[in-house]
């Protein structure tokens, strides 16, 4: 799916997405990433939803976003509350959705000036070391 550019070009915007990767500002990432509006995308060392641990979310909590949009792949899946305790303890919301919806939602929130983090799982892909 291709998404259109907008007046948010100075921010990290999802410009395309498919099951094998995501484009952020027209640069392709074929592995799971963390995306925030004013920070360059970072590799997120998660190859499968079932591999998620509390440590994965503690990394996100350190950035202190307003909300985390978790893209769980082709279908929506929900994380156990124990995994996101580091976020809940800081009153940071977590919304789980399929990755297409997550990309669209992140772009909307980012365009509204929200400090959102897109935590996008690209199933089966290993992040570069």
Residues 6+ apart with CB under 8 A from 95: 67, 68, 69, 70, 105
For 74-118, the pLDDT digits (tens) are: 999 999 999 999 999 999 999 999 999 999 999 999 999 999 999
pTM: 0.89
5 against 103, higher pLDDT: 103
For 63-75, the pLDDT digits (tens) are: 999 999 999 999 9
């Amino acid at each position: 799916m291709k998404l259109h550019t907008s007046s948010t070009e100075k921010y990290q915007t999802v410009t395309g997405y498919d099951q094998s990767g995501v484009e952020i500002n027209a640069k392709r990432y074929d592995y799971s990433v963390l995306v925030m509006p004013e920070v360059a995308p970072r590799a997120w060392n998660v190859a499968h939803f079932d591999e998620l641990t509390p440590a994965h979310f503690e990394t996100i909590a350190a950035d202190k976003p307003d909300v985390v949009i978790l893209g769980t792949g082709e279908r929506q899946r929900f994380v156990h509350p124990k995994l996101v305790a580091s976020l809940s303890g800081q009153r940071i919301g977590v919304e789980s959705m399929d990755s297409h919806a997550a990309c669209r939602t992140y772009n909307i929130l980012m365009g509204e000036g929200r400090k959102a983090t897109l935590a996008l799982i690209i199933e089966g892909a290993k992040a570069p070391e």
